[in-house]
């Protein structure tokens, strides 16, 4: 039987119009139409004096949409209660903003309450200002994400749980309940550096790229396959697309619905496992009603995914 590529959406999260009415109406309509997942991202605030350029690009301004950001796990908790079947998850959480036992329990709570329909993405982040709020040296970001993932997996393993690392120590403890999905909810990587790709191949279940062409991502997936330990299941890919991107850079530009359909159809033909479409930076969305209409507007991509 042919598997249809999963097509999901980013939830309303950024800007003043992402309120309860917008989120609930959007989530319920997306599920009714047959979208496969609803994702959120993580940012903390909008600093007025920016040291680190947006998305690790020196001198690039932080997009105005980030002046108001609903926080990810709380947003997902509401959506879990408003939906019944659709997958919910993060694309992505910033590893440096979290500690393992607390995060493991929060993720488990979402997995239990949703009946096991979660996926959680992680990356190293780019904002020095946000890392400073957690008293985290951003130069340790790579080592911290390695250790956080290992510690999360320990928390989801058999009791008693214990862990002793450079950044985190967990004394022998019971950490319960465990997630519905065993051995843990699917873990997704948003990393793209050389070290991040190696980390992705060794520790994660999915890769979640954004900027770049489909051909570039497929080439990277081939590399990841070569790096993948033989005892692990093949890595899967979820490609992030935008109606309007947060910034216009090489291979990242606004896409019409027809253009999104073409990209989705090409990804499906190439065997990509999933795509996710984000409208949080779309300047035409100026009300809760606009948000609720987005799943209907993007519904043609579902047919495009079927080939």
* Bond from prior residue into 190 cis (ω within 30 degrees of 0): no
| Rg, C-alpha atoms of the chain | 19
H/E run at residue 239: strand 236-242
Q: What is the pTM of this model?
A: 0.96
* CA distance linking residue 71 with residue 73, whole number of Å: 6
CATH code for the structural domain at 6-305 = 3.20.20.30
What are the pLDDT digits (tens) for 22-41?
999 999 999 999 999 999 99
* CA distance linking residue 14 with residue 43, whole number of Å: 10
Q: Where are the domains of the chain?
A: 6-305
In the three-class reduction of DSSP (H, G, I as helix; E, B as strand; rest coil), residue 278 is classed as: strand
Query: Which DSSP state fits 55?
Result: G
* CA distance linking residue 60 with residue 83, whole number of Å: 37
Query: Which DSSP state fits 132?
Result: H
* CA distance linking residue 271 with residue 217, whole number of Å: 12
> Can you tell me which residue has the tokens 């309450």?
113
In the three-class reduction of DSSP (H, G, I as helix; E, B as strand; rest coil), residue 194 is classed as: helix
What are the pLDDT digits (tens) for 174-225?
999 999 999 999 999 999 999 999 999 999 999 999 989 999 999 999 999 9
């Amino acid at each position: 039987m042919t598997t249809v590529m999963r097509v999901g959406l980013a939830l309303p999260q950024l800007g003043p119009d992402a309120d309860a009415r917008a989120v609930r109406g959007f989530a319920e309509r997306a599920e009714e139409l047959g979208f496969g997942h609803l994702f959120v991202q993580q940012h903390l605030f909008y600093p007025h004096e920016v040291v680190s350029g947006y998305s690790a690009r020196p001198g690039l301004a932080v997009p105005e949409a980030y002046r108001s950001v609903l926080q990810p796990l709380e947003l997902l908790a509401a959506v879990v209660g408003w939906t019944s079947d659709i997958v919910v998850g993060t694309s992505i959480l910033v590893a440096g903003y979290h500690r393992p036992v607390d995060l493991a329990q929060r993720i488990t709570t979402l997995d239990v309450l949703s009946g096991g329909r979660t996926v959680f993405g992680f990356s190293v982040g780019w904002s020095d200002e946000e890392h400073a709020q957690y008293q985290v040296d951003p130069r340790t970001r790579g080592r911290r994400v390695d250790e956080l993932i290992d510690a999360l997996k320990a928390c989801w393993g058999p009791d008693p749980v214990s862990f002793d690392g450079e950044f985190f120590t967990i004394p022998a403890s019971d950490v319960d309940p465990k997630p519905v999905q065993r051995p843990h909810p699917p873990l997704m990587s948003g990393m793209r550096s050389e070290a991040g790709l190696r980390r992705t191949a060794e520790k994660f279940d999915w890769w979640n790229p954004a900027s770049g062409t489909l051909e570039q991502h497929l080439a990277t997936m081939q590399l990841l396959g070569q790096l993948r330990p033989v005892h692990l299941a093949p890595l899967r890919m979820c490609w992030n697309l935008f109606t309007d991107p947060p910034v216009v850079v090489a291979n990242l530009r606004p896409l019409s619905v027809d253009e999104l359909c073409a990209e989705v159809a090409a990804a499906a033909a190439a065997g990509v496992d999933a795509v996710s479409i984000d409208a949080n930076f779309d300047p035409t969305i100026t009300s809760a009603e606009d948000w609720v209409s987005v799943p209907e507007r993007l519904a043609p991509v579902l047919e495009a995914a079927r080939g």
